Amino acid sequence: MMKIGISCYPTVGGSGVIATELGMLLAEQGNEIHFITSSLPFRLNRVNPLIVYHEVDLNHYPVFQYPPFDLALANKMAEVIDREKLDILHVHYAMPHAICAILARDIAKHDVKIVTTLHGTDITVLGVDQSFKKMITHGIEQSNAVTAVSNSLVKQTKEMLGITKDIDVVYNFVNENEYKKKELSGIKKEYGIKENEKVLIHISNFRKVKRIQDVIQTFKKVSHYIDAKLLLVGDGPEYSNTCQLVDSLGLNDDVLFLGKQKNVSDLLSISDLKLLLSEKESFGLVLLEAMACKVPCIGTAAGGIPEVIEHNETGYIVDVGDTDKAAEYAVQLLQDDALRKQFSQNAYNRARKYFHSEIIVNQYLDIYDRVLARN
Ligand code: GMT
């Protein structure tokens, strides 16, 4: 049994999902889990006496021009390390969480080991603001172990920061009890989708990097040949631009904006194909969620996506921006029932073989054991 603290961004997003699901699975195995976050992690939906949530509270003193959230987090981490005698503090993102953890380790009296998981956002920050380079490098170098969610992210991190420290690749996983194909044909009808119509789906936080305009353009081309609907799940900065594009292409009747949704596996269960055409993506957790629900995927040759989709087996990989090719593959798959059935089974098999939660949780446990043995 270990005592593990976990810090992540608790709001919607793949890193928060992974951190929370990991904590819940570790607790099911008898480990004591302490979430230290700014609000209740949105995926924390199971009661377990071994899970405790510590909220980081921040007083707004007038002397501070900017409320020092990161310091408040480090302070809370140090308190929890000492009070609960944590063995491991597992933080998601080098910046700010690893930096806060390092400060907390310095402040705390009890010895704790820091494990940092990189999800790609540190690299995105660096791409925009090189002045954070020293800070992110420090977070990585001073962690007792560092993991990244794809080989591509390890390579990119090492290239951009010039670090030589070992980074373990630990892929993402899904909760298989939730992400499975369900027989829910009734939902199609509820959304006004005809039985013969194919369903394409895109799920994201509508950030620019997701290139939703390419999803729409691909769908437009597909809809010349196939009766289909496109489900857009999520919300974010590109929402209005996406609405405008859909409108200008005359696709209002065929593109359904569903906003943020909780039961994504239900929507995946009625989907025939998933599109993720991002220009940056360290893993693409939504792809794995789709694969677990037997949905083949078309993704771009960006970041870790080609490590998740096996081209020509579980879906297709296209160059970023190549909507002609994406549409060609989509039409090929949607017109051929036997091929789609094969791809959907392959996708499911691949999700279980390489990304099963049991495999991934054991990899994290091995890393915890390794850093604790270095005492
Ligand atoms: O994609 C986002 O904008 C959210 C971000 C996050 O912090 O959750 O996602 C990152 O981490 C996920 C979990 O490891 C990965 O599946 C996403 O690919 C990664 N996003 C990017 O690299 C853009």
DSSP 91-128: EE-IIIIIHHHHHHHHH-SS--EEEEEE-SHHHHHHHH
What pLDDT is recorded for position 123?
A: 85
pLDDT at 375 over 80: no
What pLDDT is recorded for position 374?
A: 53
Question: 372 CA to middle of ligand 1, Å?
Answer: 28
Name the residue at shortest CA distance from atom 10 of ligand 1: 119
Name the residue at shortest CA distance from atom 2 of ligand 1: 13
Instruction: Calculate mean pLDDT across residues 55-76.
Output: 89
The stretches of 142-233 forming alpha helices (DSSP H) are 151-161, 185-190, 212-222
Report residue 49: phi and psi, to 5°: -60, -15
Taking the C-alpha atoms of residue 299 and residue 109, their distance in angstroms, rounded to an integer, is 47
Calculate the CA 189 to chain-centre distance. 30
Summarize pLDDT for 268-313 with one digit per residue, the tens.
Answer: 999 999 999 999 999 999 999 999 999 999 999 999 999 999 999 9
Question: 193 CA to middle of ligand 1, Å?
Answer: 30
Name the residue at shortest CA distance from atom 3 of ligand 1: 205
Contact 177, 166 (CB under 8 A): no
Contact 97, 72 (CB under 8 A): no
Q: Which atom of ligand 1 is nearest to the CA of 205?
A: 3
> For residues 278, 279, 284 and 290, what is the CA-based torsion angle, rounded to 10 degrees?
30
As its CATH architecture, domain 3-173+356-373 has: 3-Layer(aba) Sandwich (3.40)
Instruction: Calculate mean pLDDT across residues 121-133.
Output: 84
**133-141 and 99-107 helices cross at what angle (nearest 10)?**
60
Instruction: Calculate mean pLDDT across residues 72-84.
Output: 98
Instruction: Calculate mean pLDDT across residues 234-258.
Output: 98
**What mean pLDDT is reported for the chain?**
95
Instruction: Calculate mean pLDDT across residues 321-350.
Output: 98
The fraction of the chain above a pLDDT of 90, given in percent, is: 89
Summarize pLDDT for 36-49 with one digit per residue, the tens.
Answer: 999 988 888 888 99
DSSP structure class, residue 131: G
Query: How far, in Å, are 39, 54, 325, 355 from residue 6 at the CA level?
Result: 13, 10, 42, 21
**Region 187-354: CATH code:** 3.40.50.2000
Question: Look-up: residue for tokens 């990097």?
Answer: 209
The fraction of the chain above a pLDDT of 70, given in percent, is: 99
Contact 319, 301 (CB under 8 A): yes
pLDDT band at 185 (very low <50, low <70, confident <90, very high): confident
Structural domain boundaries in the chain:
3-173+356-373, 187-354
The response to whether residue 14 sits with its C-beta less than 6 Å from ligand 1 reads yes
pLDDT at 256 over 80: yes
Out of 7, 12, 119, 308, give the residue to mutate to test ligand 1, the one with the largest number of ligand atoms within 8 Å of its CB.
119
Nearest to 306 by CA among 203, 170, 202, 153: 153
DSSP structure class, residue 299: E
Contact 59, 79 (CB under 8 A): no
- Comparing 190 with 375, the larger pLDDT belongs to 190
Residue 148: strand, helix, or coil: strand
Alpha-carbon radius of gyration of the chain:
21
The response to whether residue 299 sits with its C-beta less than 6 Å from ligand 1 reads no
Q: Write out the two tokens for 165.
A: 């420290």
Question: 140 CA to middle of ligand 1, Å?
Answer: 18
